[in-house]
């Protein structure tokens, strides 16, 4: 049975448990009802506030100038065309015709001011010159079985905790070639500054060395550096560590973002974009990573063991530029960044929470409601992004259907701008009627996001999350291939995951000139962020410098 109400975040499964052997109900059939939490139905509970916010962004992206400049230009042209050379001379010499001359001059001033304001206020073009993803050495590669054995040898986990992690791994979508630090097998404490710095040096310098080699850029040419790592934040910072290692210039603008979760990579991009807007003729490097060993949880709290199963080693380094001469060699142009933060709600704020357990072991605690909480953030972000990227036809059908449902009273509470209320599980179950969904006469129009984007890079948090997002967004298996392949081959590398996905698409030779790429990431806070790129040229299959080159022919794998 499936839920059919507009806001149901639970699905149920009725299981026949057989015949009751004893008691007052002996001989009768017994059933149990399993309630499974899932993502919200995005298109059946749309909040108009975020639709309006999306159109507000659309206006800010320059449409108002595209409307004002032609109008002023046409008025000025129409006024000037009324006068020939002799007419203009008579106006200058005849004081009675001075009014027309004033009108023409006024229109000329307005046109000049409008054009000047437009050219000086418009955003600078931001180019993605190239990027690199760190591939750890093969001696750090582990299978799922080896992972459990390493955890067992460390002597830090009870057998029940080991079995729980094994069960999680079996359904996680993670393959047998992911990478973990050797230090996790140690019986000693590994959440030390020494271990953190050692891992950071390996992954960060590995990614940056690859980037500088691919782009032939000297470290001293970089004017802006943004580094994001959620859990490991030493003093001096990771950005200072990079500057020291590569002996970068003294006036570099450096930033270090911490505690911002798996979506911090796009936040770092947003910061780099803002800095490039204010610093012409410059280049920026964005480094995104997470330290697995420093984040390793050695206790037995099951809600804190989940990150151990999913997070793996990885790092990305991205080179951005606002220099016009870099256009010809750049791969992508930046179109949109949309950020959504749900931290104002206590449930969202504590959905991914770093704290100590009863034995004072530090770890990330994952809320049991993470699926629906994360789903609400994703839904909000997508609703805001849609007006910026969807074709007019899709926006028209979606918006007209939404308005019709709103005025006919068939819309949801969220469609009217009011928050939805979750019913208790027993009331949810009573609301389920198998035929009502298919018979609904006001089913909303589902926008086809495949018309807006050619490629999808969705954060591979887990196999379940990817399955739910595919269902809600109406995407094909090919659309989700890069995300599932990345989860299988590299695991969840936190904020750098979306770059391993883009590297997968390039290794397959699928990115053509003019293609639009959507990167979607979500993480603690709870935050959901989107970035849209447009390919400047067709990306040829790389011969080197891509982490997928040794295994790309094995994907898509039947195991995905």
Q: Which residues are catalytic?
A: 262, 341, 455, 459, 488, 492
Which distant-in-sequence residues (6+ apart) come within 8 Å of 400 by Cβ?
Answer: 445
* H-assigned helices in 82-174: 85-93, 98-121, 144-153, 159-170
Q: Side-chain half-sphere of 385: how many Cα atoms within 13 Å? A: 24
294-297 CB contacts, 8 Å cutoff, 24+ apart: 294/190, 294/191, 294/192, 294/195, 294/196, 294/199, 294/231, 294/232, 295/191, 295/231, 295/232, 295/363, 295/364, 296/184, 296/190, 296/191, 297/361, 297/362, 297/363, 297/364
Is the peptide bond between 526 and the residue preceding it cis, with omega within 30 degrees of 0? yes
According to DSSP, residue 552 is labeled: G
3-class DSSP assignment, residue 265: helix
* H-assigned helices in 154-260: 159-170, 193-215, 238-246
Q: Let me know: does 389 contact 453? Beta carbons within 8 Å.
A: yes
The DSSP secondary structure of 47-70, one letter per residue, reads -HHHHHHHHHHHIIIIIHHHHHHH
Residue of 151, 259, 294, 278 whose CA lies nearest to 495: 259
**Packed helices 264-278 and 497-507: angle between N→C axes, nearest 10 degrees:** 80
According to DSSP, residue 311 is labeled: B
CA distance 536 to 71: 31
CA distance 122 to 77: 24
């Amino acid at each position: 049975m499936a839920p059919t109400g507009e806001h149901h975040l639970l699905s149920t499964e009725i299981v026949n448990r057989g015949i009751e052997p004893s008691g007052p109900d002996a001989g009768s059939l017994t059933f149990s009802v399993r309630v499974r939490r899932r993502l919200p139905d995005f298109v059946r509970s749309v909040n108009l506030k975020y639709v309006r916010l999306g159109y507000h962004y659309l206006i800010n992206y320059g449409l108002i100038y595209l409307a004002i400049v032609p109008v002023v230009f046409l008025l000025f042209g129409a006024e000037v065309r009324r006068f020939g050379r002799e007419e203009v001379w008579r106006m200058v010499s005849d004081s009675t015709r001075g009014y027309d001359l004033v009108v023409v001059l006024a229109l000329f001033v307005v046109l000049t001011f409008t054009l000047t304001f437009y050219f000086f206020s418009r955003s600078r073009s931001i180019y993605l010159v190239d990027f690199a993803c760190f591939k750890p050495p093969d001696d750090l590669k582990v299978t799922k079985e080896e992972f459990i054995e390493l955890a067992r040898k460390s002597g830090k986990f009870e057998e029940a905790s080991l079995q729980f992690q094994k069960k999680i791994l079996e359904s996680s979508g993670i393959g047998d070639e992911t990478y973990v630090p050797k230090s996790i097998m140690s019986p000693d404490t590994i959440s030390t500054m020494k271990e953190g710095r050692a891992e950071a040096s390996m992954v960060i310098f590995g990614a940056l060395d690859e980037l500088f080699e691919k782009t032939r850029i000297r470290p001293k040419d970089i004017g802006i550096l943004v580094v994001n790592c959620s859990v490991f934040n030493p003093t001096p910072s990771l950005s200072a560590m990079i500057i020291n290692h590569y002996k970068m210039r003294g006036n570099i603008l450096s930033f270090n973002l911490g505690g911002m979760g798996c979506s911090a990579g796009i936040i770092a991009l947003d910061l780099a974009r803002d800095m490039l807007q204010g610093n012409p003729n410059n280049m920026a490097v964005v480094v995104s990573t997470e330290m697995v060993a420093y984040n390793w949880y050695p206790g037995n709290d099951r809600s804190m063991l989940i990150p151990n199963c999913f997070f793996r080693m990885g790092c990305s380094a991205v080179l951005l530029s606002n220099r016009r001469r870099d256009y010809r060699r750049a791969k992508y142009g930046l179109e949109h960044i949309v950020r959504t933060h749900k931290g104002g709600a206590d449930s969202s704020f504590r959905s991914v929470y770093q704290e100590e357990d009863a034995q004072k072991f530090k770890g990330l605690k994952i809320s049991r409601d993470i699926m629906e909480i994360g789903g609400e953030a994703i839904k909000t972000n997508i609703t805001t992004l849609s007006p910026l990227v969807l074709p007019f036809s899709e926006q028209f059908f979606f918006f007209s259907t939404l308005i019709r449902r709103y005025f006919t009273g068939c819309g949801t509470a969220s469609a009217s701008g009011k928050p939805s209320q979750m019913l208790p599980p027993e009331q949810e179950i009573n609301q389920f009627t198998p035929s009502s969904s298919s018979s609904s006469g006001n089913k909303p129009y589902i926008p086809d996001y495949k018309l807006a984007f050619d490629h999808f890079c969705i954060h591979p948090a887990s196999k379940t999350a990817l399955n739910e997002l595919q269902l809600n967004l109406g995407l094909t298996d090919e659309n989700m291939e890069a995300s599932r392949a990345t989860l299988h081959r590299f695991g969840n590398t936190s904020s750098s995951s979306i770059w391993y996905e883009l590297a997968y698409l390039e290794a397959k030779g699928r990115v053509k000139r003019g293609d639009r790429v959507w990167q979607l990431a979500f993480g603690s806070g709870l935050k959901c962020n989107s970035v849209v790129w447009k390919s400047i040229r067709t990306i040829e299959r790389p011969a080197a410098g891509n982490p997928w080159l040794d295994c790309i022919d094995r994907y898509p794998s039947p195991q995905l």
